[in-house]
A and B are shown apart, each in its own frame.
Chain A
Amino acid sequence: MIIEVKRLHFSYGHRPVLEDITLEVEKGEVVTLVGPNGSGKTTLLKCLNKILKPKKGTVLLMGKDVSKMNLKELARLSGYVPQNGVRTFPSTVFDIVLLGRRPYIDWRVSSRDKEIVAGLLRLMGLEEMALRDFNELSGGEKQKVLIARAFAQEPEILLLDEPTSNLDLKHQLEVMNLVSSTAKEKGVAAIISMHDLNLASRFSDKMVFLRERRIYAIGSPEEVLTPDNVRAVYGVEAVVNKDSGRPYIIPLEPLQASKAAAATKTA
């Protein structure tokens, strides 16, 4: 078990955001976190790499308690892509990706560090913009740069917060293919939050539905991507189609507020 989250509780000040989260992820598994806005996906990811400190419960990575790991050790173990990038001082794309090597670099940038970065830029199709200013890139290009930075950490665990939200159709598939092939070939575990249920269904071994601070459903896409779950979690009527292998959903109507409440009760 590479990631074990046990009975985790988290609150911002006095407002509880996550309650009683228990989750296990194996080597090579791709797990997606789905759920409505504000359901705690970002918060959960941040609890896994010490950006936020849980109020209760433990997070074990490779059997080690995260709260006892030092940051550098942790940074070699887990790569992170934030949901929103921030503006920076002018900095080249190459330099930004190179920061992913920070957990390994003392002072000098080795030839291997440069090769890793160059390789990732090529893999992501960013070679043309290696020396361009990061701030001048489009939203999707920036997202790819930040994903490359997380890969540059050579992590055992990838924590990706809506990594595909700004990507076009082709790049969504490319990035997710890259993540899932890295998972399968190198045994890296990935936890990915996303809003696109069909993309999630297609690429994940396990889906986690978050609703109102708790895990509402967890399991393989076939098990959990059902009209009932979608109705209960999102308040949306949908049909789920299974004719092409993985289930995919077609959303129909948002429920009326009263009906949504009723659906919640019966669920």
Chain B
Amino acid sequence: MATEAREIEFAEIKELYTRFTARKVVFILGSLGALVALSLYATTLGSARLGIGEVSSAVFARIFPFAGIETTSFADVVVWHLRLPRIAMGIVAGAGLAVSGAAMQGIMRNPLVSPFTIGVSSGAALGASLAIVLGFSLVGAEKAVVVTNAFLCALLTAFLVYGLARMRGVTGESLILAGIAVMYFASAATSLLQYLATEEELQAVVFWLFGSLTGATWENVLVVTVILFFCLPFLMRYSWDLNVMASGGDEVATSLGVNAARVRIITLIVATFITAGIICFTGIIGFVCLVAPHITRLLIGADHRFLFPCSCILGAILLVGADTVGRTVFSPVVIPVGIVLSFIGVPFFVFLLMTRRKEYF
């Protein structure tokens, strides 16, 4: 009798876990649907009035050219040239920032770490300021100078921080401390540049520092998409290894067959690369890579197989949503998305932390 009851329980545990996993998949599909809906809705908003129907047919007419969907050339231009580049940038940038945050937190077993901790943002800011203030008179194609300079300085700073942290053993704490030291230095240099800048340059620097999706083009979107296309599979492949590392530290990882040092350095490089590749176009959009992974963990747990894709989607929703609010609420004034994110993201995050009782550290 007793054994019979236990047999049922045995099947039940397995069933319970299978359902637990299935719920996560359903949640991910649901949030993907929400992202599509949000993006379409965001495309309808703007100075030229277009309904959701017109927008949808304009969008899908190009995606499925042989389906014979009717659309007007006016709608086509507004949607594909004015609005979608910005929204697409929001999607890829949000996804990339979120996933690199999730990866960094996993390898360091520390929820406070993000690519920004290791100096990517302060490096990019310094690089951009250098280009805007000092490089201004040198090259005609100013935009490309800012982007490449920001990108390279971001990578350099990250490797500097990593190198410093390495001297004491790479832990969350050593990375954060080295990151802070380097960040102060880079900020001081950026401030000095601002001090030396002309009125016009100063405005450009400050605008860059806010982080915004204004000026997104299909070329930018393409570059970021290509980066994600090559980097995401890398991170996904390490899902199990990151699960092992996040749950028990390096020694346990070794005993479960995971080369923690190697996984850590590769993940770090990939995450840095993604983040630098995004913020060199958008400026400093910080909040997403710290918070999107947290929200995801609160909602579906810390299993990286699901955490990665779901963080991507939630990061995209967060960024597109915030940008939409930023460009509509005080229209025609557009508030940079970095600022909006903090205004709506922080209270939402605090709310989640307060109402969900799962503790972190």
Chain A residues with CB under 8 Å of chain B are 46, 49-51, 71-76, 78-80, 82, 85-92, 94-96, 99-100, 102-103, 105, 107, 109, 111, 114-115, 117-119, 121-122, 127, 130-131, 133-135, 153, 159
Which listed residue, A88, A114, A119, touches B247 by the CB 8 Å rule? A88
Look across to chain A and name the residue whose beta carbon is closest to the beta carbon of B294: A89
CB pair A114–B14 under 8 Å, yes or no, is yes
Which residues on the A side are within 8 Å of B254 (C-beta)? 49-51, 71
Which residues on the B side are within 8 Å of A75 (C-beta)? 255-257
CB pair A103–B257 under 8 Å, yes or no, is yes
The docked-state distance in angstroms from the alpha carbon of A122 to that of B14 is 11
Look across to chain B and name the residue whose beta carbon is closest to the beta carbon of A86: B249
Whole-angstrom distance between the Cβ of A96 and the nearest chain B Cβ: 6
Which listed residue, B111, B249, B303, touches A91 by the CB 8 Å rule? B303
Look across to chain B and name the residue whose beta carbon is closest to the beta carbon of A114: B14
Which residues on the A side are within 8 Å of B109 (C-beta)? 86-89
CB pair A99–B244 under 8 Å, yes or no, is yes
Interface SS of B by simple majority: helix
Q: What are 13 A-B interface contacts by the 8 Å CB criterion? A: A51-B251, A74-B257, A82-B255, A86-B252, A88-B246, A88-B302, A90-B360, A92-B301, A95-B303, A102-B240, A127-B12, A131-B17, A133-B358
Look across to chain A and name the residue whose beta carbon is closest to the beta carbon of B105: A89
Count of chain B residues with Cβ under 8 Å from any Cβ of A?
Answer: 42
CB pair A78–B255 under 8 Å, yes or no, is yes
Which listed residue, A79, A80, A95, touches B243 by the CB 8 Å rule? A95
Which residues on the A side are within 8 Å of B247 (C-beta)? 88-89, 91, 95-96, 99, 134
Look across to chain B and name the residue whose beta carbon is closest to the beta carbon of A111: B14
B207 on interface, CB distance cutoff 8 Å? no
Which listed residue, B10, B111, B305, B361, touches A119 by the CB 8 Å rule? B10
Whole-angstrom distance between the Cβ of B214 and the nearest chain A Cβ: 36
- Pairs of residues from A and B, 6 with the lowest C-beta to C-beta distance, nearest first: A75-B257, A80-B255, A89-B302, A72-B257, A118-B13, A103-B257
A99-B256, A103-B257, A114-B18 are known contacts. Are A88 and B240 too (CB-CB below 8 A)?
A: no
The docked-state distance in angstroms from the alpha carbon of A203 to that of B296 is 46
The docked-state distance in angstroms from the alpha carbon of A169 to that of B12 is 29
CB pair A118–B14 under 8 Å, yes or no, is yes
CB pair B258–A122 under 8 Å, yes or no, is no
A80-B252, A95-B243, A102-B240 are known contacts. Are A90 and B257 too (CB-CB below 8 A)?
A: no
A91-B302, A92-B20 are known contacts. Are A135 and B252 too (CB-CB below 8 A)?
A: no
B187 on interface, CB distance cutoff 8 Å? no
Which residues on the A side are within 8 Å of B359 (C-beta)? 90, 135
The docked-state distance in angstroms from the alpha carbon of A73 to that of B247 is 21
Look across to chain A and name the residue whose beta carbon is closest to the beta carbon of B356: A90
B16 on interface, CB distance cutoff 8 Å? yes
Look across to chain A and name the residue whose beta carbon is closest to the beta carbon of B243: A99
Within 8 A of A (CB), among B1-24: 6, 9-14, 16-18, 20-21
Look across to chain A and name the residue whose beta carbon is closest to the beta carbon of B19: A131
Which residues on the B side are within 8 Å of A90 (C-beta)? 297, 301-302, 358-360
Which residues on the A side are within 8 Å of B18 (C-beta)? 114
Which residues on the A side are within 8 Å of B13 (C-beta)? 94, 117-118, 121-122, 127, 130
Within 8 A of A (CB), among B252-310: 252, 254-259, 297, 301-303, 305
B299-323 to A contact mask, C-beta < 8 Å, 1/0: 0011101000000000000000000
